[in-house]
């Protein structure tokens, strides 16, 4: 079944580190030893993806990527095979970070956040399917619903934005991921 995802909060706690000296903006794509510093690794990952034609946003100071709707739209303009090839080519930059799949406990906690989002959307007159959390390749996870509220309209997008803010979704999901990766290093799903 194809998942209709309401909010693609694909979160990766890492990035990419460029091998740059001084103030140079040149990014080496050689496979030197990856950084264990989340910011530096994430920065190198983002720069590497950009060198491969994928408009990856830069990480925050903690090495986390938070995708805005505009970021998601830009990323979707790049064909999936190109994005996947870029991720494969650049993943080595973040290989020393915890990229384990989320645990069952993290899935359950994230589902609770999605249930709040679902309830809020119902208040705007929109019905979505069952909440889902899916581990993906390269340490990413997807959070959304198995069926969408309907075709994307300005009114629906506004309701989604309001509900995501009311549920404090981005902060809470990021917290769940961070806690899970700190406490379950190497245990997997």
pLDDT in tens, 76-126: 899 999 999 999 999 999 888 888 899 999 999 999 999 999 999 999 999
Structure tokens at 146: 């198995």
Domains of the chain by residue range = 104-183
2-6, 69-73, 166-170: the lowest-pLDDT one: 2-6
How many whole angstroms separate alpha carbon 58 and alpha carbon 184?
26
Structure tokens at 139: 């340490």
Give the list of residues 6+ apart from residue 4 with CB closer than 8 angstroms, or none. 129, 144, 145, 146, 147, 148
Give the other-Cβ count within 10 Å of 154's Cβ.
Answer: 7
Q: What is the pTM of this model?
A: 0.67
Give the list of residues 6+ apart from residue 7 with CB closer than 8 angstroms, or none. 117, 143, 144, 160, 164, 169
Rounded to a whole number of angstroms, the CA Rg of the chain reads: 17
For residue 15, the Cα-to-chain-centroid distance in whole angstroms is 11
Does 10 have pLDDT greater than 80?
no
The 10s digit of each residue's pLDDT in 37-81 is 889 999 999 999 999 999 999 988 888 887 777 888 899 899 999
């Amino acid at each position: 079944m194809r998942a209709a995802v309401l909010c693609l909060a694909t979160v990766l706690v890492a990035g990419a580190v460029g091998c740059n000296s001084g103030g140079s903006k040149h990014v080496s794509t050689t496979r030197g030893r990856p950084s264990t510093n989340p910011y530096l690794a994430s920065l190198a990952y983002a720069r590497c993806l950009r060198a491969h034609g994928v408009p990856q946003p830069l990480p925050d100071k903690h090495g986390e990527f938070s995708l805005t709707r505009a970021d998601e739209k830009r990323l979707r303009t790049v064909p999936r095979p190109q994005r996947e090839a870029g991720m494969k080519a650049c993943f080595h930059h973040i290989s020393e970070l915890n990229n384990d799949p989320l645990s069952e406990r993290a899935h359950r906690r994230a589902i609770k956040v999605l249930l709040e989002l679902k309830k809020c959307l119902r208040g705007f007159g929109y019905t979505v399917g069952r909440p889902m959390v899916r581990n993906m390749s390269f340490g990413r996870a997807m959070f959304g619903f198995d069926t969408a509220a309907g075709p994307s309209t300005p009114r629906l997008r506004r309701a989604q934005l309001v509900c995501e803010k009311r549920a404090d979704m981005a902060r809470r999901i990021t917290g769940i991921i961070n806690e899970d990766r700190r406490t379950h290093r190497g245990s997997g799903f």
